[in-house]
Amino acid sequence: MLCRLAMDPPGSKPGGDDSAAAPARETRYMVPVDGRPDCAGLIRATCRMAEAGGAPWIGVHLDGPRPLMSSRDDERRLADNLRLAEELGADLIRLQPLTRNLARELLALARTHQVTHLVVGRGGPGWRTRLTGSLLEELVQGDLELVIHVVPARPSAEPPPPAPAPPEALDLVGLAIAIGFVVLATGVGFLVFHYLGLADVIMLYMLCITAAATQLGRWPTLAASVLSILTLDFCFIEPRYSFVLTDIQHTGTFAMMLGVGWVILGLAERIRAQTRLAQNQERHTRTLYRLGKVLAEGGSVAAIQQRVVPFLRQELDLPVALLLCDAKGQLPVPAGPGLRLEAEELEIARTVMARGVPVGHGTESYTQSPCLMLPMPGTERPLGVLGLWFTPGAGAMPASRLDLLIPLASQIALALERASLAEDRTIARIQAEHERLRNSLLSSISHDLRTPLGTITGATTTLLNPGPQSAPGDPKVLLGTILQESRRLLRMVNNLLDITKLESGLVQAKKEWAAVEEVVGSALSHLEEQLGSRPVSVELPEIWVPMDPVLMEQALINLLDNAIKFSPAGSAIEVRGWAEGGQFLLSVADAGPGLPPGEEELIFEKLYRGTGRPVTPGAGLGLAICKGIAQAHGGSITARTRPQGGAQIVIALPMDGISPELNPDYHS
């Protein structure tokens, strides 16, 4: 069934395999795609061969002018074949050929795309076979190292398209103009006949036929030709004013006139078709380009949907709807006020989803419906359908329109899929991060809570049940332990509640003009016991700062607590505040070892305990709380190791608004 015609390039070893002939070249198949019935079989055969070898393949359509005989069926088949090739995984190339020599064009393309295998059809019986035959010969004569596969014609089993194309409508204006041309030529002919001669009059009529052929179209040209011959015969050829022909040579003239008219008409039609094609393609390209720009803005699925629908509505001048599948791959039944699908439209949408081809207006099924639905294919499952509503009675949609709409829908699908994948990824990442944090929080909490509880329980049972050797001072030691552990437990529970509240956004800074020394003083008094006899130097300006005093006190307690924990007992702690650049900066510094380089940011992360430090129970939330409080104020927090040693943590709060100015002796 498959003829293989291996062409050995001159100079290569006879019988040499194609891989041996050109070891560096990767196998690549190419198949010409056109509107012939057997082309679909050709495409499938190429796909099979390419897939068997794991090679890429290219579908080429040489977008020449349609032959005069080309029908709407051909155009439709061409669109189908192109789509088929694309769906089967071909790289599609559409080209305007430079010459009419198909073989040369194909060979040139094969060279530029480094094709190793070309698949062509042998064609069926009839004149096309002869054409194909010559194509094959020319290809074989090409100098390219190319394996050519000839696949016998196998018209695909596609159903014959139902409705015959409607006949071209009679162009009455064109006919009138054609008649006008002939009348004009006759008038001028009468004026010049006496001075010049019959040949010039004939040329006049030729001019009028040429004008009709180039400007007016098929029927006006035919009318102009026939009318020209009749008037010429009647008015100028002897015997004049009768249709009788005495001289047989004039029949030749008439035939030439008809022939020239026909040839020029053919040329003109071809040019017109080419222009139309070029304009169409240009429009398609522009539309796709603009769509590309709209899609390139990115964003969420909803954002893309919101941009694309108005764009398409404007671009196509049709009502448009994007129906997207839900998470289960089911088409939702839209019931909003903007869009209501009729039962038939819903059925069309389901058919499109099931079959993956356009259905509705201008296609083979549901042709009578005003609605056309296009598939939006995704990599795993269809994403949904694109629906268009044509005005009823506006006539059939040209097949070229479908050529535009299908890639349009695919492009939108691609963008939507990308957006939805990105969304999925973000959600997954957030969930994973959430999960990780929750797990480490849980394990850390269970450890940090159980340890002091264990100590308390243990100490209490010893107190209730003292051993026979217990010293008289033991109870006091144990009671001290219980008290200390209870306080630790309390601090941890408080921290846990604080961070939870801060993270859930329940906490909002209730800013008021606060006296900084009041807040600092209150924080210091809370830590009196931990501070003991440590020297604390406080340096604060006498200013008013907008802050939530309760929250800031909490932050300060945590900062001071941190400084106490990470510096040697008895070493000094410095609290300083100053205004700078529209901010109030509050710093707590210790005389400890400072921060390991690179951890200045990390210490504000939840559950971060530092690498080079001894593991201190209860740590890990305090600084994260400070960060949350600074952020709740619209401020920030930074940490550094001071040049003179010791860690310094600075909270910066914005100082907006006007501080209170009161007459110190204000009397009501």
Partner 1 sequence: MLPEQPLVLIVEDDSQLMQYLTTTLRSHGFNVAEATTWEEGKSMALGLAPDVVLLDLGLPDGDGLSLARELRAVSRVPIIVVSARGREEDKVLALDMGADDYITKPFGSSELLARIRVALRHAADLTAPAATVVAVGSLRMDFASREVTLEHKPVRLTKNEFDLLAVLMRHAGQVITNRQLLQEVWGDTAKAHATYVRVYMRSLRKKLEADPTRPRLLLTELGIGYRLKPDLDED
Number of residues in the chain:
668
Q: Measured between alpha carbons, how far is 338 from 342 in angstroms, rounded to an integer?
A: 13
Kindly state the tokens that stand for 495.
């921290």
The three-state secondary structure class of 193 is: helix
Is the Cβ of residue 400 or residue 494 nearer to partner 1 in the bound state? Answer: 494
Q: Distance between CA atoms of 341 and 420, rounded to whole angstroms?
A: 25
Let me know if 330 is exposed, middle or buried by CB neighbors in 10 A (0-12, 13-18, 19+). Answer: exposed
H or E element: which one contains 389?
A: strand 384-389
CB nearer partner 1, residue 549 or residue 592 = 549
Shortest separation between residue 562's beta carbon and partner 1, angstroms: 19
CB of residue 617 vs partner 1: minimum separation in angstroms?
Answer: 19
Contact by Cβ (8 Å): 607, 529: no
Cβ nearer to partner 1, comparing 99 with 668: 668
Bridge partner list, 574: 537, 589
Q: What is the DSSP letter of 202?
A: H
- Compute the C-alpha angle 238/240/244, nearest 5°: 70
Closest to partner 1 by CB, 425 vs 487, is 487
**Residue placing its CB nearer to partner 1 in the complex, 314 or 530:** 530
As measured in angstroms, the least distance from the Cβ of 591 to partner 1 is 19
Could you tell me the smallest distance in angstroms from the CB atom of residue 448 to partner 1?
Answer: 18
C-alpha 350/C-alpha 362 separation (Å) is 17
As a whole number of angstroms, the distance between CA 339 and CA 349 comes to 14
Residue 437 CB, nearest distance to partner 1 (Å)? 23
Of the pair 136, 489, the CB lying nearest partner 1 is at: 489
Q: Are 254 and 229 in contact (CB under 8 A)?
A: yes
Question: CB 446 → partner 1: shortest distance, Å?
Answer: 21
Smallest gap from Cβ 481 to partner 1, in A, equals 16
- Residues with Cβ within 8 Å of 629's Cβ and at least 6 positions away in sequence, in order, are 502, 507, 509, 548, 551, 552, 554, 555, 651
Q: Which burial class, exposed, middle or buried, applies to 422 when counting CB atoms under 10 A from its CB (0-12, 13-18, 19+)?
A: middle
CB nearer partner 1, residue 301 or residue 507: 507
Among 94, 82, 74, 156, smallest CA distance to 410 is for 82
Least distance CB 667 / partner 1 (angstroms): 6
Residue number, 345 or 553, with CB nearest to partner 1: 553
Nearest partner of 85 among 123, 35, 135, 124, judged by Cα = 35
Q: Closer to partner 1 at the Cβ: 513 or 608?
A: 513
* Distance in Å, CB of 618 to partner 1, minimum: 16
Give the C-alpha separation, 116 to 56, whole Å: 11
- The residue among 625, 646, 645 whose CA lies nearest residue 637 is 625
CB of residue 453 to partner 1, shortest distance in Å? 15
* Positions in the binding site for partner 1 (CB under 8 A): 486, 490, 494, 497, 512-515, 517-522, 524-525, 538, 540, 542, 544, 549-550, 553, 575, 660, 662, 664-668
- State how beta strands 117-121 and 147-151 pair: parallel
Report the residue number, 187 or 480, with the smaller CB distance to partner 1.
480
End-to-end CA distance of the chain: 110
CB 171 within 8 A of CB 140: no
- We find the least distance from the C-beta atom of residue 553 to partner 1, in angstroms, to be 5
**From CA 138, how far away is CA 228, in angstroms rounded?**
44
DSSP 8-class letter at 62: E
Q: Is the Cβ of residue 91 or residue 517 nearer to partner 1 in the bound state? A: 517
